[in-house]
């Protein structure tokens, strides 16, 4: 008698348990930095949108999470199926789609990460089974459920349409991107501006109402705790470079120079 293979993606159980998860965005093409971060984090998003990382480096960084509890995901440069295809095929268990501003865009993202009939993903996961130490058959059996569709709400138009976006079946995580959200109303860098914060609150309310796990950036422990109290389950502690920068600053604090 055949048995259903165990799921590869441990984040889904954390979400069911309402347990907050913590991660970072990797922008530096480095196996070593990913390996260090993966020891402590629940997830890492390898950044193919803004960082200087190519597909070869991304593959190596995904493999570098092996043997740790860390779930590797990838942020792509645009909501295009061909950009999501390769990262999934060499082992990422989630794709972060930027700048989702309509239900149609959300549906396109959802269909990119699942095989027919649930979606439009093309077959060819030649390296993913090696990353997860499973057979091709077992990888394929759970691939649709293991793969996470993470969308980013980061434009004022997305906030205006938040209810219709979040009604799209198949979204696994919705992340609020404050930087681009501020930029979309001509307030670049002014994340703490009252108008920006009001948009973030409206996005939060729409996502939380939908029941989809909500994610965002926590710039301090106090902010993280406040976000957890509001229902956040996916908290980015920063980028790799910002975590290093903060660590160096903390190490130098109090030293006479």
Query: How high is the pLDDT of residue 7?
Result: 83
pLDDT tier at 139, thresholds 50, 70, 90: very high
Determine the pLDDT at residue 129: 97
Average pLDDT over residues 111-115: 98
Tens digit of each residue's pLDDT (9 = 90 or more) over 97-107: 999 999 999 99
- pLDDT at residue 84 is higher than 90: yes
Please, what's the b/e burial string for 89-116 (b: 16 or more CB within 10 A of its CB; e: otherwise)? bbbbbbbbbbbbbbeebbbbbbbbbbbe
pLDDT digits (tens, 9 = 90+) for 209-245: 999 999 999 989 999 999 999 999 999 999 999 999 9
Helix (H) or strand (E) holding 88: helix 81-89
User: What is the pLDDT at residue 257?
Assistant: 83
1 pLDDT exceeds 60?
Answer: no
Question: What confidence score (pLDDT) does residue 212 get?
Answer: 98
User: How is the chain split into domains, by residue range?
Assistant: 11-149+219-249
Q: For residue 117, is the peptide bond before it cis, meaning its omega torsion is within 30 degrees of 0?
A: yes
Q: Mean of the per-residue pLDDT values for the chain?
A: 96
Q: Please compute the mean of the pLDDT values over residues 150-158 and round it to a whole number.
A: 98
Superfamily of domain 11-149+219-249: Phosphoenolpyruvate-binding domains (3.20.20.60)
Cα distances (Å, whole numbers) of residue 135 to 142, 148, 165: 11, 20, 36
pLDDT at 192 over 60: yes
């Amino acid at each position: 008698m055949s048995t259903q293979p165990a799921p590869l993606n441990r984040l889904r159980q954390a979400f069911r348990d309402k347990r907050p998860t913590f991660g970072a965005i990797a922008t530096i093409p480095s196996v070593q930095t990913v390996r260090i971060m993966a020891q402590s984090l629940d997830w890492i998003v390898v950044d193919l949108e803004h960082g200087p990382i190519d597909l070869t480096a991304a593959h190596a960084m995904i493999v570098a999470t092996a043997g740790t509890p860390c779930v590797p995901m990838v942020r792509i440069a645009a909501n295009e199926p061909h950009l999501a295809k390769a990262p999934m095929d060499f082992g990422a268990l989630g794709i972060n789609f930027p700048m989702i501003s309509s239900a149609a865009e959300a549906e396109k993202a959802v269909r990119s990460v699942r095989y027919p009939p649930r979606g439009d993903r093309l077959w060819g996961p030649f390296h993913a089974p090696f990353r997860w130490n499973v057979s091709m058959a077992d990888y394929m059996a759970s691939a649709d459920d293991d793969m996470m569709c993470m969308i980013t709400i980061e434009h004022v138009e997305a906030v205006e349409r938040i209810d219709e976006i979040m009604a799209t079946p198949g979204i696994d995580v919705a992340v609020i991107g404050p930087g681009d959200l501020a930029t979309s109303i001509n307030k670049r860098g002014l994340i703490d501006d009252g108008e920006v914060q009001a948009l973030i609150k409206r996005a939060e309310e729409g996502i939380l109402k939908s029941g989809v796990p909500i994610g965002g950036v926590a710039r301090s422990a106090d902010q993280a705790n406040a976000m957890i109290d509001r229902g956040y389950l996916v908290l980015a502690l920063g980028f790799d470079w910002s975590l290093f920068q903060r660590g160096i600053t903390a190490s130098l604090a109090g030293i006479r120079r």
